[in-house]
Structure 1
Amino acid sequence: MTQDFRRTRVRSADGTWLNTQAYGPEGAPRVVLAHGWTCNTDFWAPVIDRLAADHRVLAYDQRGHGRSDIPATRHGYSTRALAEDLEAVVTHFVPEGERAVLAGHSMGGMTIMAAGGHGAIAARTAAALLCSTGPADLVEHALVVPERAPAGLRRLLTRQILHSRLPLGPVTPVGKAVLKHAVMGRAATRDQVQACAEIVHACPASARARWGRVLAGLDVRPGLTMLEAPAAIVVGTADKLTPPVQARAMRTALRSNDGYLELPGVGHMAPLERPDEVSSEIRRLVSTHLSSAERTEVA
């Protein structure tokens, strides 16, 4: 990321410390970014580069990722913890009486859904972007294992991938090829695949496995139906982890659907693969749903 940023540690409800990084001018429209499973704040670099000139952007490391604390026990891994972490970050970053646009990718989108009904977040949210994500039945719908495999075997192998504690080790050409097949579209560039691999390989194996178990049994549909803010959806047509069937189900369940965008040929890592389109959707939500006072231009 080319911009200067301010790093702050924010404490969640259970005492977990979260790393946050704020970019862009004070007083500009606020945007909060929540990354997905096995990622960190670096994941959002291409989007931040496109927003930070005229937005105040806050990205934070989900617990167990990046510079945030790794929970000491399995009890620190839950959708409730994700929602409480988001509340801690949003209430720290967005003063009472003001609002921001929230954007979540993959587990970050699940975080926003899990926080549906949290009054302190709802009061500070003008709109939300749910990107490459899903509310439930992730194992059932995942396509990482080829569809031609028997359904039972496909579910078993998908669970094993989510639960795996095997260290990923250094980034290698074979590892990048496997990762690209699983989470990116065919048109992803070498630099995009390299960046994705470096981010994913940096995630501690224990945190990856424990969050994988949470995702395997995830169901945040009740929170999704309680989201009060208008929400837009972005999904790649080649997303094998949270394919378009998930996005279509979310579109139906939302109280206030504010847009649905399918990106042809794009995989699960849409903010890395197509940052122009993702950042444009965030900009649209800001211009549509933040008041003129909240969109005060910064010279």
Structure 2
Amino acid sequence: MTIEKQRVDARTVYVDGATLSVYEQGDPNGEILVLVHGWPDTHHLWDGVLPHLTSRFRVVTYDTRGHGRSTGRGTVEEMKLEQLASDFMAVVDAVAGSTPVHVLAHDWGSVQVWEAICEPGADTRISSFTSISGPSLDHMGTWLQNPRFTPMGMWQWISQMASGAYTLFFMSGPVPRLFFRVFGRRWIWSLLLRIVERVDKRQLQFAPTFRQDMVAGLRIYRANVLRKVLRPQERYTHVPVHLLVTTRDPAIRPASFAGVERWASKVSRTDVRSGHWLPLKDPALVARETTAFVERIQK
């Protein structure tokens, strides 16, 4: 397959004290597909996925608030999911107007899109959502507070609690910030992904702001994890959702998506034998699954 270098159009979206750097490429007449990254990434997370999508879609990526070239107020408060979901919708409004868009998101990008699609009327703006390694924290909180008291159910609950224990460290104030200032270097992160996730080094592209993003991005954990998981709300959506569930994800266990049909009226799922960073490990698969889902719901 021959991949031509695409023209990239950049714009800035201003929203609630932040400037969001937004990038567009692909078929200008194609359906709009918005890609949302998580921590500690920027829009560069999708560099390997984009070439597989641009012939079919008008693809939009952006740096979320306080990451990459996007700015913010520098507070914990601004990293609440409600604000990040509002940022996402501001990008959608800027690039699409009243035209509905498709969405692909990973990690915290997926978590914030869940927040957005559970708002009333979201199904009139979002045509589909492909989610990777990022559940709704409200849904996860409800699941954690209502475990199934069977051997399998308890094992799943314990394994997710153990897998999520790292978030307590990430929320512990100056210690993790100091840790990532020292060890949050691109070559260390690259080596980790190559060893643990077996990511091809050619897929690894990092923003110059990587270490800064890694440290500042920890605010998203402090702003959301405890308040959402301990006090979950009932959040429903009519947006069609497709889950790409990574079965070897050390952070988000597959069982945490159990019962999502209660919250999403149209949901499908594909389990993938991969670790957390599937967009880096197998970008072609991510693009293929996303495109197939879009085409499937249009039939």
Letter in 2 for 1:287: E
Q: How does 1:63-212 map to 2 (within 5 A)?
A: 63-96=65-98, 98-119=99-120, 121-136=122-137, 157-161=166-170, 163=172, 164-166=176-178, 167=181, 168-172=183-187, 175-179=189-193, 185=197, 187-192=198-203, 194-195=204-205, 201-212=210-221
Task: Note closer, same or farther for the CA distance 1:59–1:153 as it changes in structure 2 (3 Å cut).
Answer: closer
Letter in 1 for 2:291: R
Task: Note closer, same or farther for the CA distance 1:53–1:218 as it changes in structure 2 (3 Å cut).
Answer: farther
Task: Note closer, same or farther for the CA distance 1:11–1:208 as it changes in structure 2 (3 Å cut).
Answer: same
Superposed CA deviations along residues 121-159 of structure 1, whole A, max 9, x for unmatched, are 432211111111122358x8xxxxxx9x99999766541
Shift of 1:234: 0.3
* Distance in 2 (alpha carbons) for counterparts of 1:189 and 1:151: 28
Say whether residues 1:272 and 2:280 are aligned partners: yes
Instruction: Judge conservation of contact 1:42–1:199 (CA < 8 Å) in 2.
Output: no
* Distance in 2 (alpha carbons) for counterparts of 1:289 and 1:154: 33
Task: Note closer, same or farther for the CA distance 1:102–1:172 as it changes in structure 2 (3 Å cut).
Answer: closer
Q: Please report the TM-score for the alignment, with normalisation by the length of structure 2.
A: 0.79
* Distance in 2 (alpha carbons) for counterparts of 1:68 and 1:113: 21
Say whether residues 1:213 and 2:222 are aligned partners: yes
Letter in 2 for 1:72: G
* Distance in 2 (alpha carbons) for counterparts of 1:289 and 1:103: 15
Which residue matches 1:242? 252
Identity, % of aligned pairs? 22
* Distance in 2 (alpha carbons) for counterparts of 1:121 and 1:161: 31
Task: Calculate the aligned-residue CA RMSD, in Å.
Answer: 3.2
Letter in 2 for 1:11: Y
* Distance in 1 (alpha carbons) for counterparts of 2:78 and 2:124: 26
Structure 1: unaligned runs, 5 residues or longer? 141-146, 292-299
* Distance in 1 (alpha carbons) for counterparts of 2:241 and 2:250: 22
Instruction: Judge conservation of contact 1:235–1:262 (CA < 8 Å) in 2.
Output: yes
Q: Please report the TM-score for the alignment, with normalisation by the length of structure 1.
A: 0.79
Task: Note closer, same or farther for the CA distance 1:68–1:120 as it changes in structure 2 (3 Å cut).
Answer: farther
* Distance in 1 (alpha carbons) for counterparts of 2:163 and 2:28: 48
Letter in 2 for 1:94: A
* Distance in 1 (alpha carbons) for counterparts of 2:287 and 2:201: 21
